Structure 1
Amino acid sequence: MAVGVAEEAVFAAADAVLARGERPTVERVRFELGRGSPARVGALLDQWWALLAQRLRGETRLPALPTEVAQAFVAVWQQAVLLADGVAEQALAERRALLETERLRVAAVENESRKAEAQTRQQVAAAQAAQQTAETRLADLERLLEQQQGRLEELQSRCTVLTDERQAALQEASRLRQELQAAQGQLIQERDSTATYVRGVEDRAHREIDRAREESRATTLQLKAAGKQHEQLRQRLDTALAQLSEAQQLAAAEAARAATLAEQLAKPVRAKRTSSKPVKRPKKPVVQT
């Protein structure tokens, strides 16, 4: 509702209410005006009551009248003044009651405002504390994120290195597997060759032994007649026996070498070192005939 209504408007509204035979009150004057705050209208209405008494006293200054009429008019005027004073007192009491009600309402509003302000301050303090906590937490999370990103980059770099190393290891394993297969093939070939050679040596030794035995038997029969020839046959027999012993030793050495190669195949690194060395074939013993 608008504040600052004109004094003349309030006075005119009060006169209109009084002209209708009603007592001018704050609510009736405001209703007549259609606007105005209760405090403003009440203050101006108090002034209107004070001016009303002056206006009524001014109207007693009349021309000379008959005594009876003048006394009657004075009595009526005094009665009107008394009534006006009663109305003024009632209006003042209503005004005081209205002001007290308004004061209580304003006090209640101020109290509610103070409570709301205190609550708002608490909420603002809590919000500021929460904001500070959130900012601290955010800073911690950002630092943690940076650390995690650094760790992730380090892990990615390490993963790349490990991938390269794994690829290199796979290639090395493939190469070692191929070398192992080649070494195994070579070992098999050498074992077969050694076995063939040993069998040949044994066969020759057996043949020499058989021939020596036959010759020994023939020599024994001719021993008495040919002592010198017996000595030669005896030497040939000793030579054959020595060749047989050498062949047996060679066979044992080849068997030990085959066992050593088999152990080396179980160790890829040692197989890698020994696979490039040439295998020395045993020298064939010279069989004297």
Structure 2
Amino acid sequence: MAVGVPEEDVYAAADAVLARGERPTVERVRLELGRGSPARVGALLDQWWDRLAQRLRGETRLPALPSEVSEAFVAVWRHAVGLAQAIAEQTLEQQRQLLAQERLQLAQAEDQARREVAGARQQVNAAESARRAVETRLTDLERLLEERQAQIDDLHAQREALQQGQALAAQQIQQMQATLDTARRQAEEARLAQEAYVRGVEERAHREVDRAREESKARAAELKEARLQLADFQQRQASILVQLTEAQQQAVIAQGQATQAREERLQRAMEAEHAQTALQARLSQAQEALEAARREAAVQHARADTLQAQFSQLSERLARRKPASPRSGG
């Protein structure tokens, strides 16, 4: 532990202050020294005052003088020393009180400084904690911002994919609509052709039946059966047309759903794709039914051709029989 300023330096500084006619105090001695802590200088200054009294009491030797003068001088000197000692003791007591006050003020100042330092340290710690909290919060916000940006990018990608899927679905729906229109026209043309053909067949059949009514009863039954089959075919054809109409309506509904799906996510697009697949399956079924109806119409056409051939043969037979009747009657 450091000793501090030497006591001889403090005593010399106090003597120098006293020699100037000033009362030695802690601040004056420290100013004279240019260094030293108040506590060290104050303690050594107390010792200096004690030694000053001893020094004053010890200064009783005088030079050789006449006895009367010496005695008088000694008496005066002792009286002066007593007064000086009393004054010194009084001054020393005052100085001690001042020193005690200074020490108390110094202790209070040190205590206040310690409290201020402690408060400052607390403030620094609080500021450091706040800074760390702010940095942590900033890091969390930056990470959250990155996550939100990634989600936004993903949503943009999903929206672009959905838009592409919607465009493809709209194109496929248009193609399906065109296919449905074509199938409907073909079905209508087939129906008209079938009706025209059936009307021609019926007209020819009626003419043949009028000429050969007796021999055409069995053929009439077959013609009735053909008509029933034709009616069944027409019913199936009408059912096919109804299915085509329903498929067209479903295509319109699917198109509306595809339009509404522009504001929905990928799941809606998947549902639209499933609906489109089901609609394509329905369309395939309708096309297969139409093809089956066409095959059935071809069969009916062949049957009608057979009936026509049979009617032709019957007409020839009737024509051959008519000239023979007058000869048999004669």
* TM-score between the two structures when normalised by the length of structure 2: 0.57
Structure 1 position 260 matched with structure 2 position 272:
no
Give the AA of the match of 2:90. E
RMSD: 4.9
Q: Distance in 1 between matches of 2:229 and 2:242?
A: 20
Instruction: Classify the secondary structure of the residue corresponding to 2:214.
Output: helix
Q: Encode CA deviations 1:76-107: one digit per residue, 9 max, x unaligned.
A: 32233232342243233322332244235414
Q: Distance in 2 between matches of 1:150 and 1:16?
A: 83
Q: Encode CA deviations 1:118-171: one digit per residue, 9 max, x unaligned.
A: 896799699879979x98xx99x98x99x9999999999999998998798678
Structure 1 position 235 matched with structure 2 position 200:
no
Q: Distance in 2 between matches of 1:103 and 1:78?
A: 37
Counterparts in 2 of 1:114 and 1:30: CA distance versus 1, 3 Å: closer
Structure 2, unmatched stretches of 5+, are: 248-278, 316-330
The aligned residue for residue 74 of structure 1 is 74
Instruction: Classify the secondary structure of the residue corresponding to 1:8.
Output: helix
Q: Distance in 1 between matches of 2:178 and 2:170?
A: 12
Give the AA of the match of 1:273. Q
Q: Distance in 2 between matches of 1:55 and 1:106?
A: 32
Kept in 1: contact 2:26–2:38 (CA 8 A): yes
Q: Encode CA deviations 1:46-83: one digit per residue, 9 max, x unaligned.
A: 33233334444454222332233223322332233232
Counterparts in 2 of 1:15 and 1:121: CA distance versus 1, 3 Å: closer
Deviation at 1:261, TM superposition (A): 1.2
Structure 1 position 110 matched with structure 2 position 111:
yes
The aligned residue for residue 8 of structure 1 is 8
Match of residue 270, structure 1, among 276, 279, 282: 282
Structure 1 position 45 matched with structure 2 position 45:
yes
Q: Distance in 1 between matches of 2:42 and 2:198?
A: 143
Structure 1, unmatched stretches of 5+, are: 216-232
How high is the sequence identity, in percent, across the aligned residues? 42
How many positions carry a matched residue from both structures?
Answer: 262
Kept in 2: contact 1:46–1:92 (CA 8 A): no
- Of structures 1 and 2, the one with the larger relative CO (CA 8 A, separation 6+) is 2
Counterparts in 2 of 1:95 and 1:35: CA distance versus 1, 3 Å: farther
Q: How does 1:176-191 map to 2 (within 5 A)?
A: 176-177=176-177, 179-191=179-191
Kept in 2: contact 1:208–1:240 (CA 8 A): no
Q: Distance in 1 between matches of 2:149 and 2:28?
A: 78
Give the AA of the match of 1:264. Q
Q: Distance in 1 between matches of 2:228 and 2:62?
A: 176
Kept in 1: contact 2:53–2:88 (CA 8 A): no
Counterparts in 2 of 1:23 and 1:66: CA distance versus 1, 3 Å: farther
* TM-score between the two structures when normalised by the length of structure 1: 0.63
Q: Distance in 1 between matches of 2:18 and 2:131?
A: 64
Instruction: Classify the secondary structure of the residue corresponding to 1:235.
Output: coil
The aligned residue for residue 98 of structure 1 is 99
Q: Distance in 2 between matches of 1:17 and 1:115?
A: 35
Deviates more, 1:271-280 or 1:241-250: 241-250
Instruction: Classify the secondary structure of the residue corresponding to 2:61.
Output: coil
Q: Distance in 1 between matches of 2:194 and 2:166?
A: 40
Deviates more, 1:264-273 or 1:160-169: 160-169
Relative to total residues, which structure has the larger helix share, 1 or 2? 2
The aligned residue for residue 224 of structure 1 is none
Kept in 2: contact 1:25–1:91 (CA 8 A): no
Deviation at 1:272, TM superposition (A): 0.5
Q: How does 1:190-201 map to 2 (within 5 A)?
A: 190-201=190-201
Kept in 2: contact 1:17–1:32 (CA 8 A): yes
Kept in 2: contact 1:202–1:247 (CA 8 A): no
Deviation at 1:235, TM superposition (A): 1.4
Give the AA of the match of 2:238. A
